[in-house]
Amino acid sequence: MIAGNLITQILTPVRTSDTGQDALNIMNEFNVRHLPIVNNTELLGVITQDDILNHNAKEPVGAYDLSLIRAYINDQDHIYDIIKLLIENQLTIVPVVDADNNYIGMVTEKDLLQFFARSASFTEPGSILVLEVNRRDYSLAEMSRIVEGENAAILSSFVTSNLESVNVDVTLKINKQDLQSIISTFERFDYKVKATFHEDTFMENLKERYDSFMSYLNV
């Protein structure tokens, strides 16, 4: 999935002639803390709530000193690039430009959450397995061979790490309800199984968290 396919159709950028108060009104209406600022099709940067508070909200935003100038992605960039930029700059939106650096839209946190909620890794039936693995021993290819050897498949995976630890947690979504044989095989290969979740329970908890977050965004 690329950025160009996730552009929101609801939010619009602020123009240089808009005031800080105009921008704040849009932010409050859509529960975001950032907005792109453009001049025709040129992306000038991202205006933040703090930028507005540090200036006169009655003045045009074109006169503001912006704290975020180069926080944007190309329309052909991968969804992981969006997430990386969101996290690094603590953004609520990410502006998108085309190959000629013309502004073409933005992607919001809500767009990303909805994309993942609709993806096959969430909607297809299965169960969750969490493994603790030494960083040096991590091999998704080997994990896939173990799972496929038990007539199953990995639908999705993600890794969480702690810089203070040599180990990482690998979370696997597997298209099988009964994981006992898979667990036994992993343990036979000296993998540490930290947790398992039956899909019904896991997805119910995940949906509750997602719905709560969506309710928070819509407050």
Taking only the tens place, the pLDDT of each residue in 4-23 is: 899 998 899 999 999 999 99
**3-class SS of residue 128:** strand
**3-class SS of residue 113:** helix
pLDDT reading at 208 higher than 70? no
- Most confident stretch, 65-69, 89-93, 206-210: 89-93
Q: Which CATH class is domain 3-116?
A: alpha beta
- Extract the tokens encoding 72: 């944007």
Residue 91 Cα distances to 5, 28, 113, angstroms: 19, 15, 14
pTM: 0.66
pLDDT at 129 (0 to 100): 93
Residue 20 Cα distances to 54, 55, 62, 141, 162, angstroms: 10, 8, 9, 51, 40
102 — pLDDT class (breaks 50, 70, 90): very high
pLDDT reading at 64 higher than 60? yes
192 — pLDDT class (breaks 50, 70, 90): very high
Give the pLDDT mean for 87-108.
93
Give the pLDDT mean for 143-161.
92
> Cα separation of 93 and 108, whole Å?
4
At CA 89, angle to CA 85 and CA 93, rounded to 5? 65
Q: Where in the chain is the domain with CATH 3.10.580.10?
A: 3-116
Superfamily of structural domain 124-211: ACT domain (3.30.70.260)
209 — pLDDT class (breaks 50, 70, 90): low
pLDDT reading at 116 higher than 60? yes
CB-based contact 128:110 (threshold 8 Å): no
pLDDT at 79 (0 to 100): 86
Look at the alpha carbons of 5, 6, 7, 8 in this order and tell me if their dihedral is positive or negative: positive
Q: Where in the chain is the domain with CATH 3.30.70.260?
A: 124-211
pLDDT reading at 202 higher than 60? no
Give the pLDDT mean for 42-65.
93
